[in-house]
Amino acid sequence: MLKSLKIIIPADKIKGSLNLELTMESKQFTNSNWKKVGKSYRKALKVDNKSIVGLEVKQHGSTDEPQLHVNVFYVDKKPENLDDFIMKKIFYEFGLSYNLDDVYNELKDDPVAKNLITEYKGLRLIRYFDVEECLITYQLSANTLISRLEQMLEALKQKLGLSFKFKDGLILNSFPTLEQILGLSLKKLYSCKLGYKAKFLLELAKKYSREKIDWKMLEKLNIREARRRLMMFPGVGLKVADAVLLYGLGRTETFPIDIWVRRAIVNLYGLSKELSYIKLQNFILEKFGKYSGYLTPYFFYHSRRMFKHQ
């Protein structure tokens, strides 16, 4: 029998402004990470190796006085420490513990940044609660359209994830681990619509099983060394490594640049289209330092609106 737990996170517990819809629509998460249903967002989440719950998040109140309503659905027996686990996840993923308004104060002296944060107020930098999920997602995202990426992630989840059925009949699957992917043959990975990326993902899973990444250490290492260690893994280039450092570990002193972010920076600052990744990145890092990463989703979302969705 399906049961539910309701958690309300009041405005005084959320530091700074929040626009949940804008944050979700910015595509820091794909529709495969969180599924939009009406004005709420859902996902299936493994609590431990056996337990799975359905999670639904909806914002009430305004951007300046946000309130989050979280519904957690489970079958029969409530998993142990579920309340604390969900609160930790929500605060972590949506960055509710960092004061976004304080970040804005650090960025507002730059005219471009000021315009972006004014237009997209409440857009928060997210973090993946599961860093492996972030690594898999961004490794598959390289040179891939978002719509195609979503198809690949969804196929992997249906092949390997646990299923959860909501009251209205919607079925969502949990995200697989690299250990689960390691258990698949290359042929089965090809059946997940991964194309040539199947080989790189399986190689990533194999290397990860031999040389586990010490994520806590990567949180503390200098950015160059942390990036270098990530780039030792198959299918992880400069941009993917930076994305994992930012969205997986919250290293806001880095600044991943894809085609959308590049277009925005070049257009808004009047820079040369020929500038290299490192030169563009250094341009932003010199301006914003440890706050650079907070602006990544702003440039990305602005560019996709300006140049139309792809």
Token code pair at residue 302 = 């602005």
DSSP string, 146-192: HHHHHHHHHHHHHHHSPEEE-TTS-EEEPPPPHHHHHTS-HHHHHTT
CB 137 within 8 A of CB 30: yes
Contact 264, 299 (CB under 8 A): yes
The DSSP 8-state label assigned to residue 113 in this structure reads H
Confirm if 198 and 192 have CB atoms less than 8 A apart. Answer: yes
Gyration radius of the chain's alpha carbons: 19
128: its two tokens: 């993946």
Separation CA 70–CA 283 (nearest Å): 40
Structure tokens at 78: 């409530």
Per residue, what are the HEC states of 243-294? HHHHHHCCCCCCCCCCHHHHHHHHHHHCCCCCCCHHHHHHHHHHHHHHHHHH
Q: Report the alpha-carbon distance of residue 71 to residue 35 in Å, rounded.
A: 14
pLDDT tens-place values along the chain, 310 residues long: 899 999 999 999 999 999 999 999 998 888 788 999 999 999 999 997 778 999 999 999 999 999 999 999 999 888 889 999 999 999 999 999 999 999 999 999 999 999 999 999 999 999 999 999 999 999 999 888 888 999 999 999 999 999 999 999 999 999 999 999 999 999 999 998 899 999 999 999 999 999 989 999 999 999 999 999 999 999 999 999 999 999 999 999 999 999 999 999 999 999 999 999 999 999 999 999 999 999 999 999 999 998 865 4
What is the reported pTM? 0.94
Q: What is the rounded CA–CA span in Å between residue 287 and residue 107?
A: 9
